[in-house]
Amino acid sequence: MSDKFIVETSARHIHLTKEDVETLFGKGHELTVKKMLSQPGQFASEEKLTVVGPKKSIERVSVLGPVRSQTQVEVSFTDARTLGLTPPVRESGDLEGSCPCKLVGPCGEVDIDCGVIVAKRHIHFTPEDAERFGVHDKDIVSVKLDTNGRSLVFGDVVCRVSSTYALAMHIDTDEANAASAFGEVWGEIVAD
């Protein structure tokens, strides 16, 4: 078996609660699947929102489904500067003390007190994959990407293990640009 895994770029996106979906898109509205993502059951929806920060706004930000228990906005540091925010680097769902923003949809607006983060780079493992790679949930590893002219090693990569995952590493658009990680890119865990 290969000792490498696919590295995917996760662009800015929003996760919404059911209540916020209805506020932003109308009572009874449900997210419409545009395309399924690599993680089982996760999808990019047809719905888009405007994210409003203290400095500027970013329009047409993708909403991912299904709905979640907390509304969350994941941006790159470049996006954060555009918005005028300084969000923390966090794992998805770790929102306490993160940045506020306003979300604007076709039927309403939602002000979130916290929820804007820069996602910590991570690898999704099934328990079987984790055993094969010799890692455990919450382990921190370094990952080498071999790319055309900009190969690099990412440190501080968190391992996330669940039977609901599919093997893949996620980086944001700033990280992808730094590594010239375009098209099909593979990573491998390396010793620190």
Q: What is the per-residue pLDDT across 20-40, written as a single tens digit (0 to 9) for each? A: 999 999 999 999 999 999 999
Judge if pTM exceeds 0.85.
yes
pLDDT, position 91 = 96
- Would the pLDDT of 1 be above 70? no
Q: Are 75 and 49 in contact (CB under 8 A)?
A: no
pLDDT, position 26 = 98
Q: Which helix (H) or strand (E) holds 130?
A: helix 127-133
pLDDT in tens, 127-182: 999 999 999 999 999 999 989 889 999 999 999 999 999 999 999 999 999 999 99
Would you give the end-to-end CA distance of the chain in angstroms?
23
Q: Are 59 and 102 in contact (CB under 8 A)?
A: no
Report the distance separating Cα 68 and Cα 55, nearest Å: 28
pLDDT, position 46 = 98
Tokens coding 150: 């900009």
